Amino acid sequence: MKLLFIVNPLATLKVYKDSSVAMMRAAKTRGHKVFAAGISDLMLRDGQAHAVCVALEVRGGDDWFSAAEPATQALADFDAVLMRTDPPVDTDYLLATQLLQVAAEQGVRVLNRPSALRDFNEKLAILNFPQFIAPTLVSAKRDDIAAFLVEHMDIIVKPLTEMGGSGIFRLTLSDPNRNAILETLTHRGRRPIMAQRYLPEIAQGDKRILIIDGEVLPWALARIPLPGETRGNLAAGGTGRAQALSARDRDIAETIAPWAKANGIFLAGLDVIGDYLTEINVTSPTGFQEITAQTDLDVAEQFIIAVERGAEK
C-alpha cells in the first residue's frame, strides 16, 4: 500500500511515545510506502485533492526517519490517507477536514472520516451515551456552572477543544480562584465548557481504551496521575500502565464500537475513569507504544493490518 500520514511537523513527533511514529514504522515493516504531509500542505487543483508531501524512509532508533524532497501528489494515488494532526480543532484544522472531505467524495479513503472529525467533538461525543457518563453540564454561563458546583461540591471543568489535559481544573466551593478560572475558560461567558462531577477513581488511572475498525483491543492504558495531580494524561506527567479491560470497560467499549464504525471513526480512543466514560477521542488517539511495550499486543501492527483489510475490499 501507499499511505499518506497527515501529521504535525515530523521533527516535533516524540519518537518514544508518538502513536503516529509507531504506525509509520509498522507500515514500513509490512512493506508499505510511507508519506507525510501537514494540514497546510493540502490543496485542490482543478477540483482534485492533492498534497505537497514527502516520501519517508522509516527506521528504528531516535533518528527515525529521513525525508525525500517534497512533491505534489494526488490524494487519489494513495491507498489510505490517515489524518493524525493533534488538536486544537481550530479553523485551520476544520478547513483541512473540508479539503479532505472533497477527497473522500472523490473516492479517497480518509481515516478517520473527515465529517466525523468535524461532527464529533471529543468531549461532547460522550453525550451520545448517557448511560455511561457521570453528571455533566455544558454551559458558558458562570451561574450555571456555580450551581452545578454547589450541587456536586467537587467538579472538573475543561475546555471543549484542547487535548493532553490542557485547561483542565478541579474546583471546590472553597477554591478562591474559581470565578477567575471560569471567566478564563468561558472567555467571560462567551464559550461553553464542560463540567463534570469529580471522580476520585482518577487515582487508579484515566484509562485509554482503543477501538480499531470496530474491534475493541483487550488492553487499556491506565494513565496514573502524579501525586497531588488530578490529570492522568501522559502529557501532564502521568504514568502509563497497561491493564486488561474490566467488565465495565468492555461493556462501554463494545457499545460504542459499532457506533464508531458506522460513523467512519476507524480509530477511537475512549477515556474511562472508574466506571465512567469521559471522552471519545477521534483526532489522534494515542497509547500504542505504551501498550505494546507492556503486553504481547503490537497495537500499531494491528492497526496497519486493519488498514490493509479495508484496502482489499
Residue 281: the pLDDT is 96
Selecting among 213, 249, 279, 290, the annotated active-site residue is: 279
| Cα 150 from Cα 144, distance rounded (Å) | 10
Is 312 designated active site? no
The single residue listed with the C-alpha cell 489522534 is 284
Residue 167: the pLDDT is 87
Is 281 designated active site? yes
Is 158 designated active site? yes
Task: Tell me the backbone φ, ψ of residue 128, rounded to 5 degrees.
Answer: -75, -10
Question: Which string of DSSP letters, residue by residue, matches 248-304?
Answer: HHHHHHHHHHHHHHHTT-SEEEEEEETTEEEEEE-SS---HHHHHHHSS--HHHHHH
Is 143 designated active site? no
Q: Indicate the burial class of 36 (C-beta count within 10 angstroms; 0-12, 13-18, 19 or more).
A: buried
Is 207 designated active site? no
Distances (CA, A) of 34 to 58, 160, 177, 189, 283: 8, 32, 48, 45, 20
Selecting among 86, 213, 271, 301, the annotated active-site residue is: 271
Residue 79: the pLDDT is 97
| Cα 23 from Cα 302, distance rounded (Å) | 9
* pLDDT tens series, the chain, 313 aa: 999 999 999 999 999 999 999 999 999 999 999 999 999 999 999 999 999 999 999 999 999 999 999 999 999 999 999 999 998 889 999 999 999 999 999 999 999 999 999 999 999 999 999 999 999 999 999 999 999 999 999 999 999 988 777 889 999 999 989 899 999 999 999 999 999 999 999 999 999 999 999 999 999 999 998 876 776 667 667 789 999 999 999 999 999 999 999 999 999 999 999 999 999 999 999 999 999 999 999 999 999 999 999 887 6
Indicate if the alpha-carbon torsion angle 13, 268, 279, 223 is positive or negative. Answer: negative
Selecting among 208, 233, 290, 301, the annotated active-site residue is: 208
Is 271 designated active site? yes
Residue 235: the pLDDT is 67
Task: List Cβ neighbours of 227 (8 Å cut-off, separation of 6 or more).
Answer: none
Q: How many CB atoms lie within 10 A of CB 46?
A: 5
Is 223 designated active site? yes
| Cα 219 from Cα 206, distance rounded (Å) | 13
The residue type at 212: I
Indicate if the alpha-carbon torsion angle 168, 173, 175, 177 is positive or negative. Answer: positive
DSSP state of 167: T
| Cα 232 from Cα 223, distance rounded (Å) | 5
Selecting among 28, 123, 197, 207, the annotated active-site residue is: 123
Selecting among 249, 281, 290, 301, the annotated active-site residue is: 281
> Of 14, 31, 18, 2, which is closest to residue 84 (Cα–Cα)?
18
| Cα 60 from Cα 152, distance rounded (Å) | 49
Is 69 designated active site? no
Strands 154-158, 193-197: pairing is: antiparallel
Selecting among 158, 178, 197, 207, the annotated active-site residue is: 158
Half-sphere exposure of 278 (CA within 13 A, CB side): 27
Selecting among 25, 84, 113, 231, the annotated active-site residue is: 231
Strands 154-158, 136-139: pairing is: unpaired
Residue 223: the pLDDT is 93
Contact between 202 and 273 (Cβ < 8 Å): yes
